[in-house]
Structure 1
Amino acid sequence: METKVIWLFVFVILYWAYCISMGIKGARSARTASDYFIAGRRLSMWVFILAATATSFSGWTFMGHPGLIYRDGFQYAYASFYAITIPFTGVMFLKRQWMIGKRYGYVTPGEMLSAYFRGDAIRILTVIVALLFSIPYLGLQLGASGYLFNVLTDDLVSQDFGMWLLSIVVLVYVASGGLRAVAYVDTVQCVMLAAGIVIIGFIAYSYTGGFGGLNESLALLGQNPELGRWGATPDGHNAYLAIPGVIQFTAGLGVETPTGGLWTGIMVLTYMFALMGIQSAPAFTMWAFGNTDPRPFAPQQVWASSFAIGFILFFFTAAQGMGAHFLGANPAVNEAGLTDATILPADIAQNPDSIVPNYINLIADAAPWLMGILAVCALAAMQSTGAAYMSTAGSMLTRDLYKRYLKPGAGHAEQKLLGRMGVAFIVIAALLVATFSRDALVLLGGLAVAFGFQMWPSLASVCWFPWITRQGATLGLAAGLLAVIFTESFGINIAGVFGIELPWGRWPWTIHSAGWGIIFNVGVLLIVSAVTQNQNEYKHRMEYHNFLHEHAGLSDEKRKFIPLAWIVTLAWLFFGIGPGAVIGNTIFGVPSDASTWTFGIPSIWAWQILFWLLGVGMMWFLAYFMEMSKVPRKEVEVLVEDIGDIVQQPTQGAGR
């Protein structure tokens, strides 16, 4: 057995030992259902900061993101702004959800929404969203972990065997310890995720001649506008170094390939909508409920995510993706003689996800111990998000289905047992799909985050807008989910089974399915809410909003800054990740002429770094100055410790 494989298994075993020990510790401390499902509402500040960051930025960040930057260039690198847009969702909702959960004793988002709207349809839809998010998303993460082991062990461990073996460990510690075990393992996983990306970034820089050497190679790439996957943009720039415009009305994958690349300004914006779905997905509501207080929210959103992860993505992940073109991974660049070295295999072009394992393999001979550490960092990154969604989805199956409809009087021990069974069900379902139908898994995975984003209007109702009615939120959510399905390959294929040919293809007009979903979601919500207003229901919803206003409302001296907050946020969305981002193609220099580059780097990269810094400033302004993530001014009075302890009939309004 090779030395690198020995080191790999040594570090994996040590990592497994830590995970299982946390599972055992969590199981011993989980005396009640609330302890198991939401860590007894006692997550500490630093545990949440690190755990929530690890959950937000998963193995896809570690493995998939560099590959897509390699495949599509800097036009896709705008996706790195999810370091800001994911926690932006948290700024909007986490503090207020925590306050409501603390006051009324909610454990799951289904309980909160059902009580707020006084209806169970939205509870069922929320569980459906949780399952449709968790199973494919977890399957993708577990499949990627098996693939990583397959590559790093030189086929000694098959992908399927590695996937099932690694999944057993995750299942053991998540099912036994609940959310507390997930949180404590995630703290270590967060550090490993960040450290691994930085180290692999340094590997990329070292082989491309450092930061300056990489930019010299990018300058040569810019002089060849037709070189690359997408060729030239409509403006004649190399598509690796420019976005192809604001929108393309004739474009839709399956109908017509976009000219100069997929990532138009509108596509970037709506794709960011999809990634906002990570913290609006039901799992993050339960993360909010699990905290002792809101103190961790602002530092996690501003400093851990927006600043630290943003810095890592814009400098180190970008280097991994773009540097691969000059290290042998791009056949067209190789033929043009622009490579710095030919140390990465050219077949990466057929499988961009293999780029990170191949970077790790570069140091296998010189530092096999470091290769083992990086492999475990990648493994930890892939398990961090999956573990959280396993735990929370299992909890929702128990609380929102079993306890609500089958056995309202279920005790704490029974709920914990059913929660563990729910976790096992989700893991097995994800593994079966990943093993026997990889194509279906990829199609379903494309739906996951877009589904999560469809929770935005419902959460906005609970946290901000009392005029949204139960009927409006429920039918809007249903319409949004359907719009997502039928603007993704999954829905198009389903329609084809019934002989129906949908003419628009995937992502029509370069608008992501999350964008189409929210258009239909909000459209239906507005119309239905307008015609279903009810004074008694409105009065009930205002009980929540009066409480929020009393405890979290801004002082008169700060209310005058609300218009400024709107302007800053909308301007950043428009110019940073929206239609206005097209300005960034050339404002700091022409992509084909490095002598015009103001900062010595391509204009698009400089624009992204500038708006990353502005985005951090925006997040600080909202989270701290506008107090959207600070501790409430008044202490929250607890009315119910755990709503589940109140035995209700399924026909009654939850939480009343």
Structure 2
Amino acid sequence: MSAMAWWLLIFVGLYWSYCIFWGIKGALWARTASDYFVAGRQVSMWVFMLAATATSFSGWTFVGHPGLIYVDGLQYAYASFYAITIPFTGMVFLKRQWMIGKRWGYVTPGEMFSDYFRSESIRMLILVVALIFAVPYLGIQLRASGFLFNVLTDGALGVEVGMWLLSAVVLFYVASGGLRAVAYVDAMQCVLLMIGISAIGVIALYYAGGWVDFTRGIAAVAEWDLLNQGAGHRSGSLTPAGHSGYVAVPGVIQWVPGAGAAAGGVWTGMMNLTYMFALMGIMASPAFTMWAFSNTNPRPFAPQQTWMSSFGIGFILFVFTAIQAQAGHILGANTDLAKDVFDPQYEETLGQYRDLFETRQDAVLQRGLIATQNPDLSFEEVDRRIEAGLQALRDGEDPEAAGWVDLVRDGGGDGALVPQLLGMLQATAPWLAALLAVCALAAMQSTGAAYMSTTSGMFTRDLLKRYLMPNVTHKVQVFAGRLLVTALVIAALMVATFTTDALVLLGGLAVAVGTQMWVPLAAICFFPWITRAGAVLGLAVGVIAVLMTENIGINVVSGFGIEVPWGRWPWTIHAAGWGIILNIGVAVAVSAVTQNREEYEHRMTFHNFLREHAALPESKRHLIPIGWIIVVAWFFFGSGPGMVIGNWLFGHPNDPTTWWVFGMPSIWVWQLIFWVLGVAMMWFCCYKLEMSTVPEKEIEILFDEDAGVDRGATARS
């Protein structure tokens, strides 16, 4: 076995030992259903801060996100604002859900919503949402882990084989220990995720020749895009304003039937904003309601949302992930040949050295990496190996030559970037490559584990206990939860094995469906006038709208002979955006005509309690309008239509000589500025507006099945 394989076995063994330890310990601790499904409501502050962060930012953040920036350019890097927008959803809803769950002893969101709306239909809808979210999302993580280990073992471990093997330990600790085991393993996974992304970014910057050569390389990529009319960019064209799509957003909105027809890339201001809506669906999903219920108190919410996620993960994404992506194009900028071409002081015009750039492009992008790993080779031999590898790819053969391949041009796609970066280390630092591979594995398993645990809890409580076995014991509930975890993992593995082409589409569908939970969450936390009919019909219509603006729904109706006049994401608005717009519209309209005095008074039982315990003190109420202004302004300019100003404010995107003092394109500077402003926004809302702080007034518990407390809680059905 190679040195890399030995190191991989050692680090994977250590990681799995930690997982198995917490699986066993959690199993010994879980005596009641509450212990197993919501960790006895005793998750500690630091464990929640780390675990909730790991659940929010999965293997997609580790592998897929830098890959998409690499393929689509810095216009997609605005998606890194999900480090702020995901916890923003938590800031709005988690504290109030925790308070309701604490008072009435809820274990699942289905119990909470069905009691609030006096509706069994919404309980079933939430189960559907949870299932749609869990299976494909888990499938993506498991398949990505199999793909990663397939690359790192040079194909010795097949993708499907690796996927099934790597899922075995996840299944063990989740099924054995429940949410408590998930929380403690997720805490370690969060640390590994942050270390891994940061380390790969530093390594990519090193191989790119340091900061100066790195920034020259960004200029060269954008100039190459201009020279070839966008041929180096996945969109295949420049933006409507004539800028390189790699360093500019292609406008506020484009009135096209499907985002695939957009000029200069799909990531317009409206696409970025509504894509943020989709990712905000992660903390609106039913799984995070159970995370909220699992806490002793809301004390961890504010630091997790402000510092751990918005500040910590945000810094990593806007700096190290962006470096990984851009270095993928410019590796080789530390060679003499590359410096000649990338030199910003080059006196010739673009037109005069276009031919030089074209003929030397492959060597520029790949020579440096091969020369670094093979210092004994001459430049001529390096060039020969590059050409041999590219020719093998063109012929559909396995390229035996060890060399960097520009994945955009040669078919690897966004998912192959990070494995390629890890592969660079196999010859020079196999132990580091193996450690970072385990970091990636931990990131991929963190989100899946949480959804496995919470979804099994929902089906056990909302289906088995509610309808099939109302008097079921705690022991049977825990046993049923373990069986359901196993069933979920098998279902996810089957989906990942047999629907590989649709898997990413299903994962995108999952988060967009999660966004549709905003309306029922807003109803129970803030707006008592939203009725049962409004919430149920709005949620149903929102889910249908998501399906019909994704390829899956369009293809289904097409199979019945119905051809819709739009494609995926019409008008460059994400499916989550279309879903939530129609969801809100239907919920408001239906609520207006279905008001019932008795039902309203019942819902006010919850809202009177929240107003008593969660309302902002009179001395701070003048801050509410300020908060609204800050939030709306940040979403508009930071992750919405106003982001187009960032294309040129700090230098023209077509002229690298005008770029900012550190050699960074204007769009990247704009993103960093609004990341800092976003952290400030979260601090203001979480702490000053007390959206995530501990309530001052003690909460009287009306129902607790574990403690045998039942004080005649009128809200319980």
Q: Which residue of 2 aligns with 1:322?
A: 326
Aligned counterpart for 2:513 among listed residues 448, 451, 470: 451
Q: Which residue of 2 aligns with 1:258?
A: 262
Deviations 1:10-50 (A, max 9, x none): 11111111101100000000010000000000000000000
Unaligned runs of 5+ in 1: none
Three-state SS of the structure 1 residue aligned to 2:653 is coil
Q: Which residue of 1 aligns with 2:461?
A: 399
Three-state SS of the structure 1 residue aligned to 2:65 is helix
Deviations 1:409-467 (A, max 9, x none): 11100100111111111100000011112123233222110011100011011111111
What is the one-letter code of the residue matched to 1:511? I
Deviations 1:103-127 (A, max 9, x none): 0000000110001111111110001
Q: Which residue of 2 aligns with 1:545?
A: 607
Q: Which residue of 2 aligns with 1:625?
A: 688
Q: Which residue of 2 aligns with 1:31?
A: 31
Alpha-carbon distance between aligned partners in 1 of 2:252 and 2:539, rounded to the nearest angstrom: 28
Deviations 1:235-269 (A, max 9, x none): 1111000000000012414xx61101000000000
The 5 A counterparts of 1:305-320 are 305-320=309-324
Q: Which residue of 2 aligns with 1:247?
A: 253
Q: Which residue of 2 aligns with 1:463?
A: 525
Offset of residue 192 of structure 1? 0.1
Deviations 1:300-353 (A, max 9, x none): 000000000000000000011111011279x98973775373552234652220
Three-state SS of the structure 1 residue aligned to 2:703 is coil
Alpha-carbon distance between aligned partners in 2 of 1:356 and 1:587, rounded to the nearest angstrom: 31
Distance 1:34 1:4, change over 3 A: same
Please identify the structure whose Cα radius of gyration is greater: 2
Q: Is the 8 A contact 2:407 2:417 kept in 1?
A: no
Aligned counterpart for 2:704 among listed residues 641, 647, 655: 641
Q: Which residue of 1 aligns with 2:283?
A: 279
Distance 1:493 1:200, change over 3 A: same
The 5 A counterparts of 1:210-609 are 210-224=210-224, 225=226, 226-227=229-230, 228-229=232-233, 230=235, 231-253=237-259, 257-327=261-331, 335=361, 339=365, 341=368, 343-347=403-407, 349=409, 350=411, 351-599=413-661, 600-609=663-672
Distance 1:125 1:479, change over 3 A: same
Q: Is the 8 A contact 2:115 2:716 kept in 1?
A: yes
After the TM superposition, list the runs of 4 or more consecutive aligned residues in structure 1 that deviate by more than 6 angstroms. 331-334, 643-647
Alpha-carbon distance between aligned partners in 1 of 2:505 and 2:98, rounded to the nearest angstrom: 33
Deviations 1:496-555 (A, max 9, x none): 221211210100000000000001100100110000011111111111111111111111
Q: Which residue of 2 aligns with 1:7?
A: 7
Q: Which residue of 2 aligns with 1:655?
A: 716
Alpha-carbon distance between aligned partners in 2 of 1:301 and 1:212, rounded to the nearest angstrom: 34
Alpha-carbon distance between aligned partners in 2 of 1:33 and 1:550, rounded to the nearest angstrom: 30
Percent identical residues: 62
Offset of residue 592 of structure 1? 1.9
**Equivalences, count:** 649
Distance 1:337 1:157, change over 3 A: closer
Alpha-carbon distance between aligned partners in 2 of 1:337 and 1:9, rounded to the nearest angstrom: 35
What is the one-letter code of the residue matched to 2:313? I
Which is further off, 207-216 or 37-46? 207-216
Distance 1:336 1:584, change over 3 A: farther
What is the one-letter code of the residue matched to 1:345? V
**2:676 matches 1:616:** no
Deviations 1:547-574 (A, max 9, x none): 1111111111110111111110000000
What is the one-letter code of the residue matched to 1:311? F
Three-state SS of the structure 2 residue aligned to 1:14 is helix
| CA root-mean-square deviation | 1.9
Distance 1:638 1:653, change over 3 A: closer
Alpha-carbon distance between aligned partners in 2 of 1:321 and 1:500, rounded to the nearest angstrom: 40
Alpha-carbon distance between aligned partners in 2 of 1:18 and 1:222, rounded to the nearest angstrom: 45
Alpha-carbon distance between aligned partners in 1 of 2:519 and 2:668, rounded to the nearest angstrom: 33
Q: Is the 8 A contact 2:71 2:408 kept in 1?
A: no
Distance 1:422 1:654, change over 3 A: farther
Q: Is the 8 A contact 2:139 2:496 kept in 1?
A: yes
Distance 1:492 1:180, change over 3 A: same
What is the one-letter code of the residue matched to 2:43? L
Q: Which residue of 2 aligns with 1:46?
A: 46
Offset of residue 86 of structure 1? 0.3
**2:162 matches 1:167:** no
Deviations 1:282-305 (A, max 9, x none): 000000000000000000000000
Q: Which residue of 2 aligns with 1:189?
A: 189
Alpha-carbon distance between aligned partners in 2 of 1:629 and 1:309, rounded to the nearest angstrom: 19
Offset of residue 603 of structure 1? 0.3
What is the one-letter code of the residue matched to 1:360? L
Distance 1:328 1:129, change over 3 A: farther
TM-score of the superposition, structure 2-length normalised?
Answer: 0.88
Q: Is the 8 A contact 2:208 2:332 kept in 1?
A: no
Q: Is the 8 A contact 1:53 1:300 kept in 2?
A: yes
What is the one-letter code of the residue matched to 2:701? V
Q: Which residue of 2 aligns with 1:22?
A: 22
Q: Is the 8 A contact 1:217 1:338 kept in 2?
A: no
Which is further off, 244-253 or 371-380? 244-253
Which is further off, 484-493 or 215-224? 215-224
Offset of residue 653 of structure 1? 9.6
Q: Is the 8 A contact 1:219 1:591 kept in 2?
A: no
Q: Is the 8 A contact 1:208 1:323 kept in 2?
A: yes
Offset of residue 76 of structure 1? 0.3
**2:78 matches 1:111:** no
Three-state SS of the structure 2 residue aligned to 1:339 is helix
Q: Is the 8 A contact 1:132 1:448 kept in 2?
A: yes
What is the one-letter code of the residue matched to 1:241? V
Three-state SS of the structure 2 residue aligned to 1:241 is coil
Alpha-carbon distance between aligned partners in 2 of 1:334 and 1:575, rounded to the nearest angstrom: 39
TM-score of the superposition, structure 1-length normalised?
Answer: 0.96
Distance 1:336 1:439, change over 3 A: closer
Distance 1:333 1:352, change over 3 A: farther
Deviations 1:577-616 (A, max 9, x none): 0000000000110012223223431000000000000000
Alpha-carbon distance between aligned partners in 1 of 2:575 and 2:332, rounded to the nearest angstrom: 34
Deviations 1:35-71 (A, max 9, x none): 0000000000000000000000000000100100001
Alpha-carbon distance between aligned partners in 1 of 2:59 and 2:607, rounded to the nearest angstrom: 38
